[in-house]
């Protein structure tokens, strides 16, 4: 695990004892800090060995130096956050603790990647390219193991962090050597007072950078009004992500579709910067193309599940909003689209641009009737299925060789499933039973 003398002797309150919370407790205790922890779930509290247990909802906050919370705690509505602000107690997350530990780690670089869509794939791709090239690297943040649970990298290593807006909100001093902002589209508006506030949260990743660091973002964001003055953010030099040639990617089986060209373009720029500006000892071109060719992909992100009687079944359960689902529709010419769940918007968003690829739609979940109405108005054939099981069976029965049955719901999963992973796993099991 990662430990730091900077934490020793301080008293931390840790609220939320899921994976990152437990990793935080263990790292702080191993560093000589005092830890008081709480989780509403008794089974979670039972795992926090070594920490003092105290209900932080009623605790005296003057006892603590910092409050460390899970990114899942809504800072805009949770009473704990309001009480901490009233007590002038800083509210941070495990990424901020990592930032404060960095001076004690062997010399390294950090790549931070955020955006509404594509950040998991881009993070995993950069990590895979570096690992394929023999660079000591690990990935963490919103993907993989909690960063504090991982062993420090040796000198010359690269930490690749996927960072959600919630994690950025809990971070004050993470100076990423390369920060990547892939895109910003409406999302999580239950946690932010406006789309502009959500965009500002994302932009803070760039604002935390020092002058020696580099930022990457699509050129159109510079003129969108969503970012602060792009030439003065943290004093850093800013560079636009350049799209790869359209014929790139034909030998990259796990990176199909125009959105993955953009993810690969961002990874390409990251690798070039690391090898050029920061003297990473690799052949950036060779490393990039070999890494893209061998990249295995991530579960639930345009994941090829099975080909059955000439029909390909694709699990894109991670597409929890229309902007995330649109690239999958664009990637396949003959789609039987399973769509619905807990809606984040009341329209088709970017998916409307690719409805000519949809032979038939099968709606599910709470938003099923809304999508059925919208799609019929756009002259798309629709079957209202209510459940994922019904949709898979009906789509499979209707399909012909050459069709793609695509689960890309454009919605959250919480109306019928624990999370998007559970939804994707259910889809894979149903397809496996055909």
Residue tagged active-site, from 117, 142, 183, 263:
142
pLDDT at 71: 92
Is residue 262 a contact partner of residue 241, using CB atoms and an 8 Å limit?
yes
pLDDT, position 142: 92
Task: Kindly name the residue from 109, 119, 127, 428 that is annotated as catalytic.
Answer: 119
- Catalytic: 119? yes
Domain 303-432, CATH homologous superfamily name and number: Mur ligase, C-terminal domain (3.90.190.20)
Per-residue model confidence (pLDDT) at position 230: 57
Radius of gyration of the chain (CA): 22
* Architecture of the domain spanning 5-92: 3-Layer(aba) Sandwich (3.40)
What distance in Å separates the CA atoms of residue 195 and residue 225, rounded to the nearest whole number? 12
CA 373 – CA 85 distance, rounded (Å): 45
Q: What is the pLDDT of residue 234?
A: 38
Is-contact 198 187, C-beta < 8 A? yes
Could you say which of 1.10.1470.10, 3.40.1190.10, 3.30.1490.20, 3.40.50.1000 is the CATH number of the domain covering 104-294?
Answer: 3.40.1190.10
Domain ranges of the chain: 5-92, 104-294, 303-432
User: What confidence score (pLDDT) does residue 235 get?
Assistant: 36
- CB within 8 Å of 305: residues ≥ 6 apart: 313, 314, 315, 427, 428, 431, 432
Among residues 11, 78, 108, 188, which one is catalytic? Answer: 188
DSSP letter at 47 equals T
Q: Are 328 and 351 in contact (CB under 8 A)?
A: no
- CB neighbours of 54 closer than 8 A, spacing ≥ 6? 36, 37, 38
Distance CA 223, CA 58 (A): 46
Which of 327, 312, 342 is CA-nearest to residue 420? 342
List helix spans (H) across 46-118. 79-86, 94-101
Q: What is the pLDDT of residue 255?
A: 86
**pLDDT per position in the chain (434 positions), as tens?**
999 999 999 999 999 999 999 999 999 999 999 999 999 999 999 999 999 999 999 999 999 999 999 998 888 899 999 999 999 999 999 999 999 999 999 999 999 999 988 899 999 999 999 999 999 999 999 999 999 999 999 999 999 999 999 999 999 999 999 999 998 887 787 889 999 999 999 999 999 999 889 988 887 787 777 777 654 443 344 555 655 655 455 678 888 877 888 899 899 999 999 999 999 999 988 999 999 999 988 999 999 899 999 999 999 999 999 988 999 999 899 999 999 999 999 999 999 999 999 999 999 999 999 999 999 999 999 999 999 999 999 999 999 999 999 999 999 999 999 999 999 999 999 999 99
Check: CB of residue 108 under 8 Å from CB of residue 155: yes
Confirm whether pTM is higher than 0.75.
Answer: yes
Query: If you search the block for the tokens 């130096």, which residue do you land on?
Result: 65
């Amino acid at each position: 695990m990662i430990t730091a003398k900077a934490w020793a002797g301080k008293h931390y309150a840790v609220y939320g004892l899921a994976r990152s919370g437990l990793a935080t407790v263990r790292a702080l205790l191993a560093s000589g800090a005092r830890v008081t922890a709480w989780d509403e779930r008794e089974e979670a509290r039972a795992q926090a060995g070594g920490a003092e247990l105290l209900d932080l909802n009623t605790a005296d906050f003057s006892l603590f130096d910092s409050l460390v919370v899970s990114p899942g705690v809504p800072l805009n509505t949770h009473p704990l956050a309001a009480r901490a602000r009233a007590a002038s107690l800083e509210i941070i997350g495990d990424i901020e603790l990592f930032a404060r530990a960095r001076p004690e780690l062997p010399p390294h670089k950090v790549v931070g990647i955020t955006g509404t869509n594509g950040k998991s794939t881009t993070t995993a791709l950069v990590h895979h390219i570096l690992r394929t090239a023999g660079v000591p690297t690990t990935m963490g943040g919103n993907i993989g193991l909690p960063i504090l649970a991982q062993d420090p990298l040796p000198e010359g290593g690269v930490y690749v962090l996927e960072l959600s807006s919630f994690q950025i909100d809990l971070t004050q001093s993470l100076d990423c050597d390369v920060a990547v902002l892939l895109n910003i589209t409406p999302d999580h508006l239950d946690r932010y007072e406006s789309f502009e506030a959500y965009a500002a949260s994302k932009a803070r990743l760039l604002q935390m950078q020092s002058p020696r660091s580099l930022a990457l973002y699509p050129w159109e964001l510079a003129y969108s009004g969503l970012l602060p003055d792009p030439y003065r953010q943290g004093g850093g030099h800013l560079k636009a992500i350049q799209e790869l040639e359209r014929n790139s990617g034909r030998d990259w089986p796990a990176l199909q579709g125009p959105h993955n060209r953009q993810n690969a373009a961002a990874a390409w720029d990251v690798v070039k910067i690391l090898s050029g500006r920061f003297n990473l000892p690799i052949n950036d071109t060779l490393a990039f193309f070999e890494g893209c060719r061998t990249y295995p992909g991530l579960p639930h992100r345009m994941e090829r599940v099975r080909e059955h009687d000439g029909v390909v079944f694709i699990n894109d359960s991670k597409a929890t909003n229309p902007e995330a689902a649109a690239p999958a529709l664009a990637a396949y010419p003959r789609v039987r689209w399973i769509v619905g769940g807990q809606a984040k918007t009341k329209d088709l968003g970017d998916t409307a641009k690719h409805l000519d690829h949809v032979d038939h739609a099968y709606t599910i979940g709470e938003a099923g009737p809304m999508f059925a109405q919208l799609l019929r108005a756009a002259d798309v054939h629709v079957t209202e299925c209510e459940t994922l099981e019904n949709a898979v069976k009906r789509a499979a029965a209707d399909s012909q060789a050459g069709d793609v049955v695509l689960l890309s719901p454009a919605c959250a999963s919480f109306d019928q499933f624990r999370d998007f992973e559970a939804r994707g796993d259910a889809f894979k099991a149903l397809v496996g039973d055909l």
